[in-house]
A and B are shown apart, each in its own frame.
Chain A
């Protein structure tokens, strides 16, 4: 049961929201100062899921840390692994073969779609459209089955290796993926009829949780949270990595700066990701899957940064090597941390009933925030 703070400052009431709360998206604790229904201020209290990744990374070799990278943002694990692998490959100047790059892009975009389905599900659940919660997970099962075909796991994949990918796409993968994407397009249209066009949904999300573009940039938002405020910023365009510069896709941007805008950005991103996957499957070249790698990877002393567009935003891994098997410093910049910083600005003046919608629209994963 959630605890309640007993202090009352005049007319203001301090309410403790979480860390155990059905709508807190993990172990998030918010200290909310209200008067009546209006939120005056909001202070996030994080750290309940801190697992010490950065310190841990200093005690493991690069290849050994990679399975752990999945557990940062466990909802979008492939992109976390991708960021780490990009960083190591830049550090050690490894050239990844083309086929591997395309496979990476396919998996990363499928992961983005799966992660956005979780967003859809949990966001709708917070607004009491419980059916969409189950539909979202039902759709995600189709994608997760594809991942299981590829690497054998359904949540924390360890799908990449330093220097490439471990396996080729299994036989029949392309055909299966295209079928799944066809089904998902139909289901997304259904979802639009069920939720997006729904008058009640619009009433709950339009004009709620507004953050201007300037504020969003100032507070470190990235990803769909930023693009929902009209800022056209996507790492796949701004600093292309892997083979994104060869693929044709649009970056979803909405100008409304509110919860509805962020929601629409994510739904549109799902469709664009499907486009990317289909293009990548068409363009998949023949070739090796792994670069030539030494048995024990000892990158030359230096620093490198791997930056990817995770489902939540701009995820970077910064590595400092001193020539050893293990990194000297592993720094992770997680997008949800910046997005969470913008939460007080979005919530001031809103009603407490809107708070849940706003938190849902930022799509927090506490594993990302706390590492």
Chain B
């Protein structure tokens, strides 16, 4: 007898499952994005895509001084810099990134003290050849590209406040939650 009841409860469980599937079949919108016709619209500003070397908006010169901090910070030895000049005139003669090894981990951007390097939301960087992985700095400073965000700009984006039930701190640190002192984040 229990077997017979078992058959009916089993059948009922399958019917419940069918109802779930039916409900989902009628659910809109569908989750397919017809790439490349439709592209993801809102990428987070923190998206770690292709790199860009920034210019100083006033002088128009590259901010990069070829100090080599990004080169040292990189875990995968992606960046190679050949500096030229000295003092205030120091700039990179060659700035090469081998994206074939890049982890897109953001350590180089965080290491740069001059806000010269940024990551943009550009993710369509595939190529047909390994040679397209090696980027010289002409490629990295192309004009009509999304500007991306340097580390300082990222930290300046609006952030979340403390939670509703957070206990009120007795001595609140100066500056509150949003902007910790800039010097503390270097940990290469």
Contacts and interface: CB of A to CB of B under 8 A. Distances in A.
Contacts of A67: 75, 103, 105, 107
A156 B47 CA distance: 12
A149 B187 contact: no
Contact of A285 (B21, B105, B110, B162): B162
A285 B167 contact: yes
Contacts of B158: 170-171
A168 B184 contact: no
A204 to B, nearest CB: 13
A148 to B, nearest CB: 5
A244 interface: no
Contact of B159 (A141, A169, A190, A280): A169
Contact of A286 (B23, B155, B164, B172): B172
A5 to B, nearest CB: 38
Contacts of A61: 188
B132 interface: no
Given A281-B163, A284-B163, A285-B169, A167 B46 contact: yes
A172 interface: yes
A199 B13 contact: yes
Interface in B63-120: 73-75, 103-107, 110, 119
Contact of B16 (A63, A163, A193): A193
A99 B159 CA distance: 13
Contacts of B164: 282
Contact of B187 (A162, A197, A285): A162
Contact of A64 (B11, B166, B188): B188
Nearest to B48: A152
Tell which of B17, B44, B184, B187 has the most Cβ of chain A within 10 Å. B187
Contacts of B23: 190
A158 B184 contact: no
A161 B187 contact: yes
Interface in A275-299: 280-297
A193 to B, nearest CB: 5
Nearest to B185: A290
B162 A286 contact: yes
A172 B159 CA distance: 8
Nearest to B18: A194
Given A99-B177, A166-B110, A170-B159, A149 B46 contact: yes
Contact of B166 (A198, A282, A295, A296): A282
A296 B103 CA distance: 21
